[in-house]
A = this chain, B = another copy of it.
């Protein structure tokens, strides 16, 4: 039976060369691009513009670490239990990168994309976006669902990342329809829903990814890459100053044993 061949446009090498994305890794890339730029390029197969690069790096910086999230707890207790495998501790943490804690970025991106995809033509000013936003927020509420990225359990008055990301996107000229719509949702939400709900930063990151043409099918991947660096930081800190043993022992000694009666 014929042996298949395996297509890739990422990395390849022969005795004298290493190619990455069709470029000579040593001559064309090393020292000439940042890691963030490379990550965007590998995912999209397009070299980012300077604005796309800047905003992608900002998204990665925004999502890298949020203290003792489930991902950090999982990575630390796994390292405690299996210090022989740093990769296992990182993988253990990244597995928490699912629908609930890291999913907002992806969900927002897809939500905004679907709305925009359904518009016959894009609004040309804030008033036009507000009109779209009012309908979207009302329809979502009527369907018994939530607008992804709207509201935050801690930053109830406003997520500090939000205005800064809007500002950066404008400065770098990548403020497109997804950010326009999300910003409008932020303006009209209280009017439609009857209570103040801020736009959270993870949601803005989703809008940014959509506006810089990051493929939405792997939008979650941006959050995972960001968190990979964050977990490396958590584990470096755990090695220097261990606290996972306290996490574990505090949980263990507060066990409330309720055995089944059968």
**A196 → chain B, closest Cβ, in Å?**
13
Q: Are A21 and B260 in contact (CB under 8 A)?
A: yes
Asked, given contacts A38-B229, A78-B70, whether A239 binds B260 with beta carbons under 8 Å apart, the answer is no
Residues of B within 8 Å of A10, CB to CB, are 65, 67, 230, 233-234, 237
Contact assessment for A88 and B90 in the assembled complex, using a CB-CB cutoff below 8 Å: no
Segment of A120-128, A180-188, A250-258 engaged in the interface with chain B: A250-258
Please tell me which one of the listed residues B45, B92, B217 contacts residue A78 in the complex, with CB atoms under 8 A apart: B92
The answer to whether residues A101 and B73 also contact, given A8-B257, A228-B224 and a CB cut-off of 8 A, is no
Question: A34: which of B35, B73, B261 is its contact (CB, 8 Å)?
Answer: B35
CB distance from A56 to the nearest CB of B (A): 8
Question: What would be 7 A-B contacts, judged by CB atoms less than 8 Å apart?
Answer: A14-B154, A35-B39, A38-B60, A81-B96, A87-B98, A90-B224, A91-B94
Given A6-B246, A84-B85, 13 other A-B contacts at CB below 8 A? A6-B68, A8-B256, A10-B234, A15-B155, A18-B160, A24-B160, A30-B168, A31-B58, A39-B232, A73-B251, A81-B98, A82-B97, A88-B88
